[in-house]
A and B are shown apart, each in its own frame.
Chain A
Amino acid sequence: MEKVGILIEVKADQIKKANYGVITAARGRDRQLYAFLLDGGRADHKLTLGRYGIHKIIEIAGQEGPLEWNPATWAQAVIEAMEYFGIRTLLGLTSSQGKDLLPRIAARLDAPLVMDCIHLNLAEHTVRKPQYSGKTIATLKVQGGHCIYGVRPNAIAAQPAPCEAETVIYRTAPAPAGLTVKAIKQAMSAGVDLSEAEIIIAGGRGMENGENFKILFECAALMGAAVGASRAAVDADWVPYAMQVGQTGVTVSPKVYIACGISGSVQHFAGMKTAGLIVAINQDLTAAIIGKCDYAIVADLFEIVPRLTRKLQALDGRI
């Protein structure tokens, strides 16, 4: 029986939905799935994780209580737990947290690591990932005593496969690592998190100013969507960098991406081309995005977005 570990990410005591795609990718015949939870909070995640096929939930904690966030000690704790439970394959998300933990773990284990996987075949040790801003797809084969994979959030659809999960508490006291987390500065809440969102509505230079992003936030709130932006909008200081989608911003894979007043540069596409559906609202028929999307609305975004908001409000009222 092969054991596969999955590093689970939690936000506000809830398992992030994107984890379920990772668990789906990890499943296989004769495979035991171990979920590593470091900040599961007080909630019991047996039912939620069991629904997707997790057999064992390993709650990693300190001797006295939860391990405070520290990438170095967390990585060390995961390595110890992997050792203890005899786990040689580890999967996680290519998220902010995953980008800090998975490479730390791989480096310490001198294990191969492929980040941003969009397809995995664990039996063959092969994965596929976008390279060159998504212009090519590479197939890689990894070999090693341990193998570590980061999965692009939402790139693999979650499929339930219920089983009975069991919880085990693993206590450890990782040595101090020369690295101390002094504080975490929270950003002004921008609503739904980009990497988690099923729907993203993003604005570009066509938004004209920061104030106008309000119409995107209003529309987003009604759909449970996150609001993103192009670099042009970020460079103009209309919205914070954390909202930038693209090559030098966040990479997202929502089910639907609605681009408003965005021309569709290669660099922007690098961050959203794996979206399920791309809708472009752009008044210029010759804009690159018009030929690269699924549905194009060739019109003034200020005519379309507020109308969409009103229609969604009407739907909301009806329910």
Chain B
Amino acid sequence: MQIYVCVKHVPDTAAKITVKAPNQIEEAITFIMNPYDENAIEEAVRIKKRRGDAEVIAVTLGKPAAENTLRSALAMGADRGILILTEDPPDSLVTARALTVAIEQDGTPDIIFTGKESIDNAGFQTMYRLAAALDMTVVSNVAAFALEGKRVVVECQMEGGARGVIELSLPCVIGAGKGLNKPSYPTLPAIMQARRKEVKRIALDSLRIEKPSARADILELKPAVEARRAQQLKGSAEEVVRQLIRILREEARVIE
């Protein structure tokens, strides 16, 4: 069985983001594997450990530096990697097409894992597009996963902590949520070994993806303005609470 895991190289959440051009940020900052993708890799590796006959292939699309995230995936237990290289990361439609073509050219996926969202541009859609293109079933925000023969049973996180128990047929695409598992940190030998694992490099252009007529382009990227003028409420606890009540009632108008 072949399990593909799509991972993304994203700025660390704590990194300062500086806008350089409409669609460009300063990249001399710390990058990490998208947090939910760690859950995705972890789950794939667990399946492999249980079944023995599974191969786990990590796939990413990005700039050359994205190889670091691919190596992290390999250190976590993926067998090999595919790096689709581009200097100009495309929109969600093209990204999904590229991942689809790269996976199709490489093998026959039984399961594709992704993270439920990427924390950089929060598109929430890659898994659904992969599934539509490959005619696979799909669920996202998955908090529990079980493979039982030819069927998969998952629990999807729903509103307010409810969970939908869903059964789906293979092949399928799974968007991993945070509750799915606790990713284990790779050991030093695993990190060393990961350096020697195979990474196939493919130029995005060489995939000859037909430009879709539909698209979503970033026209402008601006730093978010922090417009709050922090004001301290002063006085005794009693006075402070009185001021707070006044704010809730007269300024925010959320209480009577």
Contact = CB atoms under 8 A, between A and B. Distances in A.
Interface of A: 69, 71-72, 94-97, 99-100, 103-104, 106-108, 110-116, 126, 129-146, 150, 177-188, 190, 193-195, 198-199, 223, 240-243, 247-248, 255-256, 265-267, 270, 273, 276-279, 290-299, 303-304, 307-308, 311-312, 315, 319
Given A111-B214, A144-B214, A72 B137 contact: yes
B1 interface: no
Contact of A294 (B131, B137, B162, B228): B228
B244 A142 contact: no
B228 A247 contact: no
Contact of B231 (A113, A144, A295): A295
Nearest to A185: B163
B11 A132 contact: yes
Given A136-B19, A179-B167, A223 B162 contact: no
Nearest to A243: B161
Interface in B180-220: 212-220
Interface residues of B, number: 84
A112 B93 contact: yes
Interface of B: 11, 13-14, 16-17, 19, 25, 35-36, 91-93, 96, 119-125, 127-129, 131-133, 137-141, 153, 155-169, 178-179, 212-224, 226, 228-233, 237-238, 240-242, 244-245, 247-248, 251-256
B13 A307 contact: no
B214 A178 contact: no
Contacts of A187: 160-163
Given A104-B128, A267-B14, A295-B244, A136 B25 contact: yes
B211 to A, nearest CB: 12
Contacts of B255: 199, 223, 312, 315
A118 to B, nearest CB: 10
Given A131-B122, A294-B230, A138 B218 contact: yes
Contact of B220 (A115, A138, A240): A138
Contacts of A177: 137
A319 B166 CA distance: 47
B230 A293 contact: yes
Nearest to B118: A131
A312 B255 CA distance: 9
A184 B164 contact: yes
